[in-house]
Structure 1
Amino acid sequence: MTSSSSGDYTATLPRKRMGSAVLLRNDDGRILLVEPVYKDYWELPGGAVDADESPYDAAVRELEEELGLGIAPGRLLVVDWVPPRTGRTEGVMFIYDGGLLDAARTDEIHLPADELRSWAWSTLIEAQQRLSPLLARRAAAAMEAVSEGVTVYLEDGNRIV
């Protein structure tokens, strides 16, 4: 084992990008998707994990920033390792269970106009049309994790465990 000049070996280790999202559902089994103004596909509510922030805290923060909702997500549904590709480093993505959102909570949604164009409840089939292929696989795995009562591990959106 080697050490850096500061004595912190961990500072020399590779860094990975991290993101967190939340799966919110309604009584009809639809999932909530958001439409960013800066992308040509939709996403689950969430975003990048900031420096010195836990993935869980990022999920809570992103729900507040993107939807104006103060929700404490439940259990971890998905961990997805994403390999590097052109313009993106490798990353680790987390999806937490946001539970069911009733009509009263849904009415409280307020989008930041500079970040999100719209939101919609979507079936998994509709989600496949709105999400990128990777995000569609991840969302489907999150729904499976909810129904099976498990946490699933993915690589590039494909279930490994």
Structure 2
Amino acid sequence: MVPDYTATLPAKRSAAAVLFTDGDGRVLLVEPTYKPDWEIPGGTVERNESPRAAAAREIEEELGLRVAPGRLLVVDWVPPRGTRTEGLMFVFAGEFPGDAVVRLPPDELRSWAWCGPDEVDTRMAPQLARRVRAASRALATGHTLYLEFGETEPDVQKR
């Protein structure tokens, strides 16, 4: 039997997250226990799992909420850095339930907060803050954005 050519192709790391916003234009950020920078809720897409299914699973695991992710806001290609391989990061829109009770996994997340643009910039790593700002723009305009390392017009000469 001839091996399937697709089995020889490289695999890309991927993750999926959900952008929750409130009526004041703030976004929900979570504070991981294992690193200094805050993030939007989400995580790794597992083998044979769709990005949307991963986003829903991660929201349930991280916040204790059953939420169906909305439309795709951003796809962000991230370059390899250090020991991390390149990857594709997906951000979906999310509607935060008004009566929600957030339950964080204490071994993974320390806290959560609604954060305005300045807080996003100070609490998040720069590339993640760029991704969140782009996702917020995509939510407002109704257009999905393609990014490279959080930038809509990447300078490929810098890599």
TM-score, normalised relative to structure 1: 0.92
Q: Which residue of 1 aligns with 2:99?
A: 104
Alignment partner of 1:32 is 2:25: no
Q: Is the 8 A contact 1:27 1:102 kept in 2?
A: no
Which of 59, 68, 71 is the equivalent residue of 2:67? 71
The CA distance in 2 between the partners of 1:127 and 1:72, in whole Å, is 24
Q: Within 1, Cα distance between the matches of 2:64 and 2:2?
A: 41
In percent, how many aligned pairs have the same letter?
57
Q: CA deviation at 1:160?
A: 3.7
- 1:20 is aligned to 2:13: no
> Who is 1:130 aligned against?
123
C-alpha change, 1:39 and 1:6, in structure 2 (3 Å) is farther
Distance (whole Å) between structure 2 residues aligned to residue 115 and residue 23 of structure 1? 19
Question: What is the aligned residue count?
Answer: 154
Q: 91, 94, 114: which one pairs with 2:90?
A: 94
TM-score, with structure 2 as normaliser: 0.93
CA distance in 2, matches of 1:11, 1:76: 28
How many angstroms does 1:85 deviate by?
1.0
When residues 6 and 62 of structure 1 are mapped into structure 2, their CA distance, relative to the original with a 3 A threshold, is: farther
**What are the Cα deviations for residues 102-138 of structure 1, in whole angstroms up to 9, with x where unaligned?**
5422xx1100001000000000110110000010000
C-alpha distance in 1 between matches for 2:44 and 2:117: 24
